[in-house]
Amino acid sequence: MVTVRHAPTSAGEVRRQLGADLARRGLSADVVDDVTLLASELVGNSVRYAQPLPGGVLRVAWSVQPGSVQVRVTDGGGRGSPHVRDAWPSDVRGRGLAIVEALARDWGVDRAGHGPAPAGAASTVWAELALQGWPGTP
């Protein structure tokens, strides 16, 4: 897990740390690229649409399991629930969760408590990438 500033530059920092860790674990360059893209999109959405955690930070965690890699980004929550948008070709934003949905086996949101997030409640958006042919996977 890493704690980074609630800032656009944090996506690059997360990509570097996550990519280095996954490469050390022996995952292929293609898998590392896909997972770091997922993480970048989740961090970018968090910075753009959510409040930071106390201290102006985000927490980014990942786990490698037989058959999958999961990335989780925790922030201070936003006004709405994260959802896939329909972006027009001329739109310069709005494709982040569409990319996540296209790459990930599954993704979702976990909130502190139930129902809509109250102001200041932590929210975790996660995405899980399926692994094929990695030790311990079918």
**Can you spell out the DSSP letters for 42-63?**
HHHHHHHHBPPBTTTEEEEEEE
Tens of pLDDT along the chain (138 residues) come to: 999 999 999 999 999 999 999 999 999 999 999 999 999 999 999 999 899 999 999 999 999 999 999 999 999 998 767 655 665 455 445 556 777 888 899 999 988 754 444 556 799 999 999 997 655 444
pTM value is 0.82
Tokens 């949101």 locate to 109
CA distance 63 to 115: 27
Q: What are phi and psi of 16, to 5 degrees?
A: -65, -50
